[in-house]
């Protein structure tokens, strides 16, 4: 047990999960918070005395993320786009229609206002693209050296459709596991931008709003069991969370996992495993075997699901563990990200 915050406590892996359990859930835990879904689901009834039924009314999805990415601008995006799409995606993966966002800015004294404007314009385009409206905000300034240019916290509200029952607890043995496209693009883009590494083919962040894709998927297949965006900590950490929350095993087939050649080379050069690298515009989906092919068809018709692939299945064996059939033929256990691979990736 660490006494001080380490960079790894922000990794999205094991240390993050430990800190959340040991401080936040321990002291603040309640049924909604402790479910650790990508968004909280809330029933908002009327508070009028005559119809005071907290269970009535629409079901709202509610989620928040802070963004501290470095550098602020990178191939394929910037902190503003991440801040809008990241929160849109946490609403989308719980099956909600994203509607409204708030944005709170912590500015460092001395930050250039024209850079701030570029970020804000990028947020407007991102809101338009995702079909959400930014309706409230806040602006604080910290003294030079006590922040880092700009941090943005977005919080989103979405509205649930009635006809789905998505939850990270819902995976069952026999279900298939799909990834919506290539993995590691965002993390390797930030990493190589930061290190000043150039590759033959330009890497680009995959940041994108997933709500149009998830809507098409849920319309076609309302019985999808789980959706999650594998952000910090990568696909490995997300699958481990899923295996734990659903109390099932996961068996992956390494050969089927889509990785761009340039991401593959960048990972080799830096000694990283793409399974632990952050994504910003990808989905992990768990679906019943009988619905898998029809869902894959819907996904592949969507620009953001063109490279979708079935990468494994859910097992009754080795509950709580993720196991991979490797390219060379053996099997290995895939754990959560243990340390801090790439600080400030989002």
Positions touching ligand ATP (CB under 6 A) are 12, 16, 20, 24, 28, 33, 36-38, 65, 86, 90, 103, 105, 136-139, 231-232, 346
Task: In whole angstroms, give the CA distance from residue 74 to residue 260.
Answer: 18
Shortest gap between Cβ of 65 and a second copy (angstroms)? Answer: 5
Residues 140-179 that bind a second copy (CB under 8 A): 140-143, 145-148, 151, 153, 155, 157, 159, 161-162
Contact status: 241 vs Mg ion (CB under 5 A): no
**Straight-line distance from the first to the last Cα atom of the chain, in angstroms, rounded to the nearest whole number:** 25
Nearer to Mg ion, 138 or 195 (CB): 138
Nearer to a second copy, 58 or 320 (CB): 58
H or E stretch at 228: strand 226-228
Contact status: 90 vs Mg ion (CB under 5 A): yes
Beta strands in 272-344 (DSSP E): 284-287, 309-315, 322-325, 331-333
Select the binding partner of residue 128 from ligand ATP, Mg ion, a second copy, none (C-beta < 5 to 8 A, by kind).
none
Nearer to ligand ATP, 65 or 340 (CB): 65
Contact status: 123 vs a second copy (CB under 8 A): yes
The stretch among 133-141, 176-184, 203-211, 260-268 that binds Mg ion (CB under 5 A) is: 133-141
With CB under 5 A as the contact rule, the residue among 78, 185, 229, 262 that binds Mg ion is: 229
Contact status: 238 vs a second copy (CB under 8 A): no
Dig out the tokens for 222 from the structure.
């309302």
Residues 9-28 that bind a second copy (CB under 8 A): 9-10, 16, 19-20, 23-24, 27-28
CA distances from 186 to 138, 205, 274, 344 (A): 28, 4, 10, 12
Shortest gap between Cβ of 15 and ligand ATP (angstroms)? Answer: 11
Task: In whole angstroms, give the CA distance from residue 346 to residue 323.
Answer: 27
Listed in sequence order, the residues at least 6 apart from 47 whose beta carbon sits closer than 8 Å to its beta carbon are none
What are the backbone angles phi and psi of residue 197, rounded to the nearest 5°? -85, 135
Longest dimension (CA), the chain: 67
DSSP code of 275?
Answer: G
Listed in sequence order, the residues at least 6 apart from 330 whose beta carbon sits closer than 8 Å to its beta carbon are none
Binding interface with Mg ion (CB under 5 A): 38, 65, 86, 90, 138, 229
């Amino acid at each position: 047990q660490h006494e001080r915050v380490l960079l790894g406590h922000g990794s999205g892996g094991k240390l993050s999960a430990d800190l959340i359990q040991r401080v936040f859930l321990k002291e603040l835990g309640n049924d909604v918070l402790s479910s650790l879904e990508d968004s909280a689901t809330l029933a908002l009834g009327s508070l009028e005395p005559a119809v005071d039924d907290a269970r009535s009314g629409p079901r709202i999805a509610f989620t928040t993320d802070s963004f501290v990415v470095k550098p602020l601008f990178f191939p394929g995006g910037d902190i503003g786009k991440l801040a809008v799409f990241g929160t849109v995606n946490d609403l989308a993966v719980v099956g909600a229609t994203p509607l409204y966002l708030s944005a709170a800015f912590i500015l460092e004294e001395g930050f250039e206002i024209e850079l701030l404007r570029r970020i804000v314009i990028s947020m407007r385009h991102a809101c338009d693209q995702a079909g959400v409206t930014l309706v409230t905000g806040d602006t604080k300034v910290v003294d030079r050296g006590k922040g880092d240019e700009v941090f943005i916290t977005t919080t989103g509200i979405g509205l649930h459709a009635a006809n789905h029952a998505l939850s990270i607890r819902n995976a069952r043995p026999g279900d298939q596991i799909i990834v919506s496209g290539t993995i590691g693009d965002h993390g390797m883009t930030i990493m190589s931008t930061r290190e000043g590494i150039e590759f033959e083919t330009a890497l680009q962040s995959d940041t994108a709003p997933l709500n149009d894709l998830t809507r098409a998927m849920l319309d076609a297949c309302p019985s999808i069991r789980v959706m999650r965006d594998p952000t910090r900590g990568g696909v490995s950490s997300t699958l481990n969370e899923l295996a734990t929350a659903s109390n099932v095993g996961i068996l992956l087939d390494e050969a089927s996992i889509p990785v761009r050649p340039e991401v593959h080379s960048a990972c080799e050069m830096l000694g990283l495993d793409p399974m632990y690298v952050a994504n910003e515009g990808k989905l992990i989906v768990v679906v019943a075997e009988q619905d898998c092919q029809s869902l894959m068809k819907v996904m592949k018709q969507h620009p953001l699901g063109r490279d979708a692939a079935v990468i494994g299945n859910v097992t009754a064996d080795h509950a709580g563990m993720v196991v991979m059939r490797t390219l060379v033929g053996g099997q290995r256990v895939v754990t959560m990200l243990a340390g801090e691979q790439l600080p400030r990736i989002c």
